[in-house]
Structure 1
């Protein structure tokens, strides 16, 4: 089997295809931005495998760079969701500045010699809080929403599951990285993040399908 076909690359590629099919005609450019983001995500994952297995080189800097894209895109998407309730661009801008400060401070402290785990943990905590706050905004609004087919709800649900459990995994990183899962001969952390990736991209894919159905049903009613 090709080393490029893994649980992560398969889940990411399927989610990218679903986003392309469901969102490429979406009128909202922020939703369409997710197509490009998932394409970049898939390319980074394949590039990371190529660097590690073919070039026999560490790939942490590739993921360090990608973390900037990941944080800014997902944070901006949350800002876009919040705009339904109020516009707080200054909050998004302040968080972006704080993130970049923490990111470059850790890079310099590590002398560019490792992955920025502290920054990733900070990003994960902020995105978890952003997800919970979005739930709060949805629950307190007067408008009725069928959450089973509400696209933003499922996107946020996948994000919350991934980053909440990912934060816990990072806290116990040393233990999980050393302990081996039976049969598959991989670390427990590797298995955990594979499961989290599946959960994330299943939720995102379903949110894209819900978004597509919403768009097509509204166009038919016009």
Structure 2
């Protein structure tokens, strides 16, 4: 069991439990879907560790997970943009483009490796989408207390994680080496991704808590 309790899994499980407590009675299907998504995250991470422990390549489980990751984050951005009169065709177009790139990379690699180019492309798109959200917030005339605005913290987590992961992928060869230029077992890249995971799920956990208290205040004021 200790093998399965890494920094990543502890952050993911903690976020899942907070989401379960805070969002279980939420009336929004999208917010409630975070519970199912985070459960999938925990299952994927546990399955990946299990396969690695048994000396089996685990890229396939993360490859399948990537599709659901893209779907969840993309749907959330559509939920945000919908308030500013963006149409669902934008979501369909993006998912179609993602699937084309995703399937083409898998086909060219004969389904024998993780689609890293697709992951990097997806990360760049999510970074741009996050920055666009900030632009919409700046232009929006409605006042929002950003310190307790759940959507803001979800996007903060997305921006930190995907910007950091994109940078890690760009500088991959440097980050997996130690100071002597030799491949390191505990690389800087591994440490950075642990930190990015913690930041992502910390932001999301805080967003769920804000959403919970927002719902409580709304129901009590009726």
TM-score normalized by the length of structure 1: 0.96
* RMSD between aligned residues: 1.3
- Could you tell me which residue of structure 1 aligns to residue 202 of structure 2? 202
Distance in 2 separating the partners of 1:185 and 1:87: 46
- Could you tell me which residue of structure 2 aligns to residue 130 of structure 1? 129
Distance in 2 separating the partners of 1:87 and 1:218: 27
Following superposition, which runs of at least 4 residues in structure 1 exceed 3 angstroms of deviation? none
- Could you tell me which residue of structure 1 aligns to residue 140 of structure 2? 141
Distance in 2 separating the partners of 1:116 and 1:109: 10
Residue ranges of structure 1 left out of the alignment (5+ in a row): none
Distance in 2 separating the partners of 1:17 and 1:71: 22
- Could you tell me which residue of structure 1 aligns to residue 107 of structure 2? 108
What are the equivalent positions in structure 2 for 1:82-97 lying under 5 Å apart?
A: 82-97=81-96
- Could you tell me which residue of structure 2 aligns to residue 175 of structure 1? 174
- Could you tell me which residue of structure 1 aligns to residue 118 of structure 2? 119
TM-score normalized by the length of structure 2: 0.96
1:157-201 deviation digits (Å, cap 9, x = unpaired): 010000001100001112212337xxx951111000000000000
Distance in 2 separating the partners of 1:178 and 1:108: 30
User: 1:87 deviation in Å?
Assistant: 3.2
Question: How many residues are paired up?
Answer: 218
- Could you tell me which residue of structure 1 aligns to residue 13 of structure 2? 13
Asked whether 1:61 is paired with 2:60, we answer yes
User: 1:37 deviation in Å?
Assistant: 0.2
Distance in 1 separating the partners of 2:92 and 2:185: 43
SS in 2 for 1:142: coil
- Could you tell me which residue of structure 2 aligns to residue 50 of structure 1? 50
